[in-house]
Structure 1
Amino acid sequence: MLRYTLTDSKTSSLEMGAKDEFINSSSISPARPRCLFNSIKFFVLCHSLLQLAQLLVSGCMKSSISTIERRYGLSSQRSGMLVSFNEVGNTVLIVFVSFFGSRVHRPRFIGGGALLACLASLMIAAPHFLSEAYDYTGRRSFSSDNSSGLCQSGSSFASLSSNRTCTKQHSVGHQMVYPLLVLGQLLLGIAAVPIQPFGISYIDDFASRKNSPLYLGILLAMTSIGPALGFITTSFVLRYFVDFNRLPADQIQLESSDLRWVGAWWLGFLLTSALLFLTALPYFFFPRNMDKEVDDGALQDADSKQQQTDPFRELTLPQFLKSFPRVALRTLKNPVYLLVVLAQVNLAALLSGLATFMAKFIEKQFSMTVALSTMMIGGIGIPLAVLGTVLGGAIMRRFQLSVLGASKLCTGAILLCMFSAMPLLFIGCSTQPVAGVFPNSSDSPCSSECLCPSEAFNPVCGADGVEFTSPCSAGCSSMETDAKNNPTNYTDCRCVGGGLRFALPGTCGSECSHLLRPFMVLLGLTSFIASFSQTPSYMMILRTVPTEDKSFSVGVQYMLFRVLAFLPGPVLYGSVIDSTCILWGQKCGRQTSCLYYNLDRFRQRFLGLQVVFVCGGLLCFLLTVVVLLRRTQSHTLQPAASKEDCELKRKQDVKEDSSVSKKQLLEGQI
C-alpha cells in the first residue's frame, strides 16, 4: 500500500493517481460523502444533534425526578444523589481525555460514547418493567369495603392498610429500582466523557479562528435545546398514567391534578435511546484529522505550527499520570483561567439545582400539575437561555472581543442577572392550612375516634377552606359517587367547621396562582441574561492557555465542573428542599417522599441558594476584569515594538516553550 509523506511528493502523486483510477473505475463515487465528512461545518451539525440527543436524556431525568420520587418513595436528597451519580464516572474518567485527546480517533470515540448512552437510557427505563404496578395509598388499599377510607370506629379498618402493599414494596423488582437507576446514571456519565471535550477540541482545531466562536455558540445553544426538548417531551408523557400499558383506561381512576398522580416517566427514555442510536452512526465516518478552515493567513500559519508542537503526544500513560498533578498545578496558576472556571462553577452549581428541582418548585409553590410545570421550564426558561447563548457568541464574533472585552461582557451580564433574580424571593404563595399539619397544633384531632391509618393519603378540601390528608382525617362518614363509582362529595364530616359538614376530593389549591406569570417572566429574563456569559467565558479559557495545553485545560475545566458543581449541586438543593418538609409520607413503616412543604421556607431557601451562586460568579468575573486590566496597564508601560518583531518573537517563544515542555515532560520534571 502506498503511503503519503510530507517529504515525498512523487509518492503523493502516485497515491493520488491510484485513488483517482479506483474512483473512476467504481460505479459509485465516494467523492461526495468524503467531502461531506471532511467538512467542519457538517461535524458541527452532527455534534449539535448528538449533544441535543445526549442532553435530551438529561432533560428527561431532571424533569421526571419529582415523578420518580413519588413513584418509588424517594426523598429530594436521594433523588438529588441519583442525578449526581451521572457525574461520578465522568469525574473519574475526564482526566484521561487530556491524555487520549491527541492520540485517539476522536470522532469514533464520540460515536462509541453515544452508543453507551443509548444503553444507559434503556437501563434507566428498565425499573418500570421490573417493578409491580403503581399502588397509590388511599384508594386501592381501602377498596374492599367500598368506603374509600371513610371514618369508621373499631380496629378492622386500621388493620387493612398494608399486607398486600408491603409485599409489593419488598418484592425483588422494587428492591432493584434504585440500583438500576444509579447504574444507568453512572453509564450515562461515562458515555458523556468523550462527547463534549473531544467535540469542542476537534472543532477548535479545524475551525477558523474567526468562525470558532460562532460554532461554539451554536454548539452550546444546541446543548441547551436538548434539556428543553427533554422537559417538553416529559410534559407530554407525564399526561399518561404510569401503568397505561398494564391497566385498561377504565381502571385508571386518578386525575393528573391529584397529588398522587404518577405519569409515564419511563416513556421518554425509550424515545431518547432510539435518537441516540441514530445520531451515533455518522461519527464512524469522520476522519481523524481534516483540513482547517481557511482564515487570515498569518493566523492560520501560527495555529498550524502551534498544533504540531503538542508535548503530550510523546508521553506514555504512566508518564502522563506522573506529570498530571504538576501540569494541572501549572494550569491552575493561570489567574484568568482559574477565575473564569470558578465563575463557571458557581453558575453550573446554580444550573444543576434549578434544572433538577425548578419544575417541582413551580408545582408545589403555585399548585400546578407536573406536566404543566415541566412544560413551562422547557418552553419558556430554557429557550430564552438558548437565545442568550447564541447572542453571546454572535456579539463575540461581531465585535471581535478580546479576552478583556469578553470578561466585561460576562461581568455585566451576571450583574444584571442578580438584579432580576432578587425579586423572585418575594413572589410565591403561603402554605395552605392542613389540619394537624400546618399550622402545627398539639390539640387532639377530632378524628381520633376514627382510627385513621397513619399511611392514608387521599387529600380532601373542607368547605371551610382547610385541607385534610384523607376523608377519614376529616371525620367524613359517607360520600356521594358518580356513575363510575368515583367520589364526588364527602358528607357528614365532623372536623369541617363553619357549619358546612362536607368536603370535596382533592386539594384546596392555591389562591395566588396568578403570581405564576410575573414569576415566569422574571425567571425567563434571568435565564436569558445569565446565558450571555456562556460563550464568552468558554472562549476566554481557550484563549488564555497555551495551545499545547488547550486540550488539557478543557479536561481540567470539566473535572472541576463535576467535582465542585454537578456532583454536590443537586444533593445540596435536595437537602435544602427536604429541610422545608412538614409532612413525610409513610409506607410499610418507612419514610417515603414528602407530602407537604412549608412554601415560604421552600421559596426562601431554594431561591436564596440561587442568589448566593450568582453573587459568587459575579465576584469571580469582577476579579478577572481587575487582573486583565492590570496586565494591560503593565504591557502599556513597556516600550513599543514593531508588529514584525512581535510576530517573530511570538513564533520563537512558541518553538522554545514547546521544545522545553517536551523535554521536561519526558523527564517528569514539570
Structure 2
Amino acid sequence: MLKADFEEVHDLIIRFVDIFRYVYAHSPHSPALLPSVAGLVRSSGMFGPTLGFLLGSFCASLWVDIGVVDIDAININPKDTRWVGAWWLGLLICGAVNFIASLPFFFLPYSLTKEGEDENPKKISHLPVQGDHCKTDPPAQPQLKFSEAVKDFLPTLKKLFGNPVFLVYVFLTILQYNSLVGLITYETKFMEQQFNVSVAKAIFLVGVILLPITILGMFLGGYLIKKFKLHVTGMAKFACISFIVAYLLNLLYFMCNCEVIQLAGLTVPYSGFKQLSSPKNSFMASCNADCSCKMDQWDPVCGDNGITYMTACFAGCKSSTGMGKNMVFHNCSCVEGQEHGHGNASAVLGQCQRESCTKAFPYFLALQTACAFILALGGTPTYMIMFRSVSPDLKSFAVGIETLGGRILGGLPAPIYFGALIDETCLKWGTKSCGGPGSCRIYDTKAFSALSFTKDNFPQQSFL
C-alpha cells in the first residue's frame, strides 16, 4: 500500500511531463537542442517517484496504529516481516497536496485569450455605408467532425506501425515499463528478504540514491548526444554499448547473493535431535514434541546457535525474562544440542541476522546504482532514435502511442505476474486468524535473486 504514496506524488508531476513531451514533439527549436530537451523531459518524470519514495520511507517507519498503540508494548521492530507501516498516512498527505495544488485552477479566467488576439481590443468605428446595414462576421473556423477524425485515425495508425524502428522502440518501452514497475513494487521486498534491511530503509535508499542517479543519467545522455552531435547510427551504437555494459554489470549480482535463513525444520534440521518424519510436522522434533506447539503461529526467535526457530515453543524454551522487544527465553532444549550445557541455552525475539548479507549490502547498492546510471544514460538515445525515425506530422501521435502502450501493457500486468512469480519462491506461508493463507514469512533468497536479475535485465535483453 505504500506504493500508493509515491504514485499520488508522481501524478502531480507526470501531467507536466506529458505537456513537455507534446511541446517537444512540436518543437521549433534547432535539432541540436532537441537531445537536451529530451533528456530533461525524460528525467523530469522521475521526480514524482523520488518524492514518493521519501514519503513512503517516512510512513513505513511508523507503526500502522500510530497514536493509538503504545509503541514500546510492541515486540517487533521495522526489520520484522510482520511490521506494518502507517500506509494510510501517505494517502492523507498526498490527498492534501493534491487539494492544495488544485486551488490555483479556481482562479483561472472563464476563457483564455487565443494566440494572436489582444486582451483589450480597441474599438473601431465604422462609417455607415448606404445600403449596407449588415455586420461583417469573421470567417468561421472549420471544425473537424468525429467521423472524419476516425477516418483519418486508422490510416495514420497503419502508417505509424508500418515503421519497424518505431515498433521496436514501443516493444522496448513496454519491457522498460515492466522492469521499472517491477523494481518500484518489489525491490524493497527483495532488499528486506535478501539483506535484512527494513522496508523503511530500503524505500529511503531507493528514493535517495537510485532514482536521483537515474535522473542524472537521463539528462546526461541527452547532453552527450548534443555535445558530440550524434546521428541515428551513433545514437544506436551509444545505446547498445550502454546496455551491454549494464548487462555485464548485472551479472555481478550473483556475487552478492545471501544464503537462505537457517530456519529449524525447514531449511536446516534440528541438529542433535530426532526429527519427526511427517512433512506436516517438519517443525517438530524430539526436543519439542511434548510442548504442543501451534503450527499456524509465527513469532520467530533466534537461538544461541545462530538458528532461527518458528516460535519459542519450537525452540523448546521453558521460561522467559523481560518484556516486549527485550524478552529473552531460557532453558531452550532444542538449542542445547549445539554444544550448550544443560539449561544454559537461550533465545531472543526476532530472526537471526546474517552478518555476511549485511556486509554484502553496500556492494549490492553500489552495483545497482552503477547499473541504473548506465541504463538511464542509454535510455535517452533510444528515445531520440524514435523521434528521428518518425515523420514530423506523426511525432505527437507517436508519443501518445508509446506512452499508452508502455503504461497499459507495461505498468498494469507487471505487478501481477511478478507478484505471482515471487510467491512461487516462498518457503513458509503465514496463516490468517480465519484459517486462510496469509503473507509469506520466508523466501528462497537464491530463487528470488534470480527472478530479480531477470526483471532488471528486461530492457538490455530486448535491445540486444
Structure 1 length normalisation: TM-score? Answer: 0.57
User: 1:425 and 2:233 equivalent?
Assistant: no
Map Cα deviations across residues 169-227 of structure 1 (whole Å, 9 max, x no partner).
Answer: xxxxxxxxxxxxxxxxxxx7xx9996644441034435623544323322322222321
Aligned to 1:61: 3
User: 1:493 and 2:332 equivalent?
Assistant: yes
Deviation at 1:580, TM superposition (A): 0.6
Distance, in Å, in 2 between the alignment partners of 1:527 and 1:288 is 44
- The partner residue of 2:316 within 475, 478, 481 is 475
Letter in 2 for 1:501: A
- The partner residue of 1:506 within 350, 362, 373 is 350
User: 1:582 and 2:411 equivalent?
Assistant: no
Residues 275/258 of structure 1: CA separation in 2 closer, same or farther (3 Å cut): same
Deviation at 1:363, TM superposition (A): 0.9
User: 1:242 and 2:64 equivalent?
Assistant: yes
User: 1:527 and 2:372 equivalent?
Assistant: yes
Distance, in Å, in 1 between the alignment partners of 2:196 and 2:157 is 48
Deviation at 1:415, TM superposition (A): 1.4
**Residue pair 1:240, 1:264 contacting (<8 A) in 2 also:** yes
Q: How is 1:313-328 mapped onto 2 (pairs within 5 angstroms)? A: 315-321=144-150, 323-328=152-157
Distance, in Å, in 1 between the alignment partners of 2:326 and 2:239 is 56
- The partner residue of 2:410 within 557, 565, 569 is 565
Distance, in Å, in 2 between the alignment partners of 1:288 and 1:546 is 31
- The partner residue of 2:238 within 409, 418, 429 is 409
Letter in 2 for 1:578: D
Aligned to 2:450: 604
**Residue pair 1:341, 1:557 contacting (<8 A) in 2 also:** yes
Deviation at 1:385, TM superposition (A): 0.9
**Residue pair 2:60, 2:86 contacting (<8 A) in 1 also:** yes
SS of the equivalent of 1:244 reads coil
- Identify, as 1 or 2, the structure richer in helix: 1
Q: Percent identity?
A: 28
**Residue pair 2:325, 2:349 contacting (<8 A) in 1 also:** no
Distance, in Å, in 2 between the alignment partners of 1:279 and 1:544 is 38
User: 1:205 and 2:26 equivalent?
Assistant: yes
Residues 615/442 of structure 1: CA separation in 2 closer, same or farther (3 Å cut): farther
SS of the equivalent of 2:26 reads helix
User: 1:466 and 2:307 equivalent?
Assistant: yes
Distance, in Å, in 1 between the alignment partners of 2:86 and 2:294 is 29
**Residue pair 2:13, 2:48 contacting (<8 A) in 1 also:** no
**Residue pair 2:25, 2:396 contacting (<8 A) in 1 also:** no
- The partner residue of 2:46 within 224, 237, 240 is 224
Letter in 1 for 2:365: M
Aligned to 2:129: none
Distance, in Å, in 1 between the alignment partners of 2:163 and 2:113 is 31
User: 1:591 and 2:437 equivalent?
Assistant: yes
Residues 409/442 of structure 1: CA separation in 2 closer, same or farther (3 Å cut): farther
**Residue pair 1:433, 1:439 contacting (<8 A) in 2 also:** yes
Map Cα deviations across residues 131-190 of structure 1 (whole Å, 9 max, x no partner).
Answer: xxxxxxxxxxxxxxxxxxxxxxxxxxxxxxxxxxxxxxxxxxxxxxxxxxxxxxxxx7xx
Residues 231/402 of structure 1: CA separation in 2 closer, same or farther (3 Å cut): same
Residues 365/241 of structure 1: CA separation in 2 closer, same or farther (3 Å cut): same
**Residue pair 1:577, 1:606 contacting (<8 A) in 2 also:** no
SS of the equivalent of 1:425 reads helix
**Residue pair 1:204, 1:212 contacting (<8 A) in 2 also:** no
Deviation at 1:254, TM superposition (A): 3.2
**Residue pair 1:345, 1:565 contacting (<8 A) in 2 also:** yes
Unaligned 5+ segments in structure 1 are 1-57, 65-85, 87-116, 122-187, 292-312, 620-670
- The partner residue of 2:399 within 542, 554, 559 is 554
SS of the equivalent of 2:67 reads coil
Deviation at 1:418, TM superposition (A): 0.9
SS of the equivalent of 1:564 reads helix
SS of the equivalent of 2:245 reads helix
Map Cα deviations across residues 370-429 of structure 1 (whole Å, 9 max, x no partner).
Answer: 111112211221111111011011112223332332222211211111111111133121
**Residue pair 2:301, 2:308 contacting (<8 A) in 1 also:** yes
Letter in 2 for 1:410: A
Distance, in Å, in 1 between the alignment partners of 2:84 and 2:166 is 45
Residues 582/560 of structure 1: CA separation in 2 closer, same or farther (3 Å cut): same
User: 1:516 and 2:337 equivalent?
Assistant: no
Deviation at 1:515, TM superposition (A): 0.7
Letter in 2 for 1:480: T
User: 1:543 and 2:388 equivalent?
Assistant: yes
**Residue pair 2:4, 2:91 contacting (<8 A) in 1 also:** no
Distance, in Å, in 2 between the alignment partners of 1:62 and 1:412 is 35
**Residue pair 1:346, 1:614 contacting (<8 A) in 2 also:** no
**Residue pair 1:475, 1:494 contacting (<8 A) in 2 also:** yes
Distance, in Å, in 2 between the alignment partners of 1:519 and 1:207 is 44
Q: How is 1:304-343 mapped onto 2 (pairs within 5 angstroms)? A: 315-321=144-150, 323-343=152-172
Deviation at 1:554, TM superposition (A): 1.2
SS of the equivalent of 2:334 reads coil
